[in-house]
Amino acid sequence: MNTETQTSTFDKQIPLQKNPNNRFLNLFRFIRDSLPFLQENERKYGGFYEIELGFSKLVILSEPELVKDVLQHQHKSFIKSPEYEVLSDLLGKGLLTSEGDHWQHQRKLIQPSFHKSYLQKIYALMLDEIVKAADTLSQKPERSIEINQEMMRLTLNVVTRSILGSQMTPDSDKIHDTVTDLLKYGTSRIRNPFFRLLYPISYQKYKSTQHIKYLDNLVYKIIEERQRTQHPHRDLLQMLLDSRMEDTGKAMPLRQVRDEIMTFMMAGHETIASALSFIFAHLVHDPKLYKKVQEELKQVLDGRHPDFEDLPKLQLLQQIIDEALRLYPSAWVVGRKAKESVKVGNTIFPKDSVFLINIFAMHRSDRFWKKAEEFQVDRFTSDFKKNMNKFQYIPFGLGPRMCIGNHFAQFEMLTVLAVYLQKFNMLALDEELPKPKNTLTLRPSKPIRILYR
């Protein structure tokens, strides 16, 4: 039994607690500093409490067994929470934002393409894009970078390349700016009810419509070209175009292909970029750890680029990734709305109740982790992973709606770290480690500046 996990104290009869404070004061604190506010609440009220935020009432969960109940056992009684509707403007009925039979059908169709064996086939695309970015960086005259910007650009290019293969568009800067703007507006709409109210008549709404048109044109043009040429392609777009409905044998409608591509681009870049940025920050602030990583890389790769088969051998890097996703889970919260009356714990909630699974607070709770707020790489040994309570550590979610890009993300992170850390010597320019800030995803609160040679 792992000594770190303390979930044996869990009691399913745990009563629902209530935050008794004024709803508008709560909303103010939530908008201003959600992360410390929610952690403070977790300490006071535990992992199962109700809170009023402005005109909304939410149930906040960070009790592993109850989280499992909502995301896995009773998943059929829930749909995604209203916050996801903000994303539907852009993602349409892609995997992240769709529901019911439509979602299930698409998930079944797409799942094989994110299986390790398929990812192995497109790994060359991923690696090539990462090596290209590191080469470009090495040719720049200035020797300092903001690593989060570098990672945002890189991860968007990697996911776009994995989708489009050789048909990668030269407009990657424009795509980057467009996607960044869209994420920014999405975040404001979710966090700030006043902005949400004014959004339909705002300049941001106008810009957002233009951006979506631009991305639509781009994606449809690429699909059309692909359909005209008969070359065999090995990338995610080809997989979407080749997939057939089990019952009718029909191809996926083009609008659906577009929605899935947008979903991969949005869900599959900032999440990875943020995690990588925090990892680089910790490495440059901890020379001992940095040295150990270099020793592992020397031993496994000795200066080579990693092959797909090398990735599982990078055990220390994997532990660092695991620990980074504990302290900095890019998807820091997931939301659900009850489709019908549901019983969670020993409380019955009416239809339409909204539940927020507070992954951030659960991953940092003293109730489940020793020295919870510390970055401790030795934590995630393979023994520990085998024995831990799986439901207290869920950076990729849980249950049938768990992240489909889990392996993609892990392979990409290992490869970026292996390539960059072998090519460059990096040093911290900032005195302090970055603090996490919650936008749509969790990201560093300010640029992380790094000196490289």
Residues lying near ligand HEM in the complex (CB under 6 A) are found at 80, 95-96, 107, 159, 263-264, 267-268, 271-272, 275, 330-331, 334, 395-397, 401, 403-405, 408-409
- Minimum gap (Å) between residue 275 Cβ and ligand HEM: 5
- Minimum gap (Å) between residue 298 Cβ and ligand HEM: 26
- Minimum gap (Å) between residue 218 Cβ and ligand HEM: 18
Separation between Cα atoms, residue 364 and residue 361, nearest integer Å: 5
- Minimum gap (Å) between residue 94 Cβ and ligand HEM: 7
Task: Identify the residue whose tokens are 């749909």.
Answer: 79
Q: Which is nearer to ligand HEM, 127 or 403 (CB)?
A: 403
Using CB atoms, what's the residue nearest to ligand HEM?
405
Task: Identify the residue whose tokens are 């680029």.
Answer: 305
- Minimum gap (Å) between residue 203 Cβ and ligand HEM: 30
Q: Which is nearer to ligand HEM, 240 or 267 (CB)?
A: 267
User: What is the Cβ-side half-sphere exposure of residue 71, based on CA atoms within 13 angstroms?
Assistant: 27
- Minimum gap (Å) between residue 304 Cβ and ligand HEM: 25
Q: Which is nearer to ligand HEM, 167 or 263 (CB)?
A: 263
Answer yes or no: is 245 a known binding residue. no
Task: Identify the residue whose tokens are 């797409």.
Answer: 110
Q: Are 293 and 286 in contact, with CB atoms under 8 Å apart?
A: no
| Torsions phi, psi for 389 (to 5 deg) | -70, 110
Handedness of CA 321, 325, 326, 327 (dihedral sign): positive
| Contacts (Cβ under 8 Å, ≥6 apart) of 311 | 410, 411, 414, 415
**Among 358, 393, 375, which residue's Cα sits nearest to residue 36?**
358
Q: How far is CA 366 from the centre of its chain?
A: 24
- Minimum gap (Å) between residue 368 Cβ and ligand HEM: 18
Q: Are 444 and 435 in contact, with CB atoms under 8 Å apart?
A: yes
What angle in degrees, to the nearest 10, is found between the helix axes of 270-285 and 147-164? 140
Task: Identify the residue whose tokens are 């990409």.
Answer: 412
- Minimum gap (Å) between residue 330 Cβ and ligand HEM: 4
325-362: buried (b, 16+ CB within 10 Å) or exposed (e) per residue?
A: bbbbbbbbbbbbbbeeebebbeeebeeebbbbbbbbbb
**Among 158, 170, 169, which residue's Cα sits nearest to residue 226?**
169
> 60 in helix, strand or coil?
strand
Q: Which is nearer to ligand HEM, 306 or 397 (CB)?
A: 397
Binding site residue list? 403
Binding site residue list for heme? 403
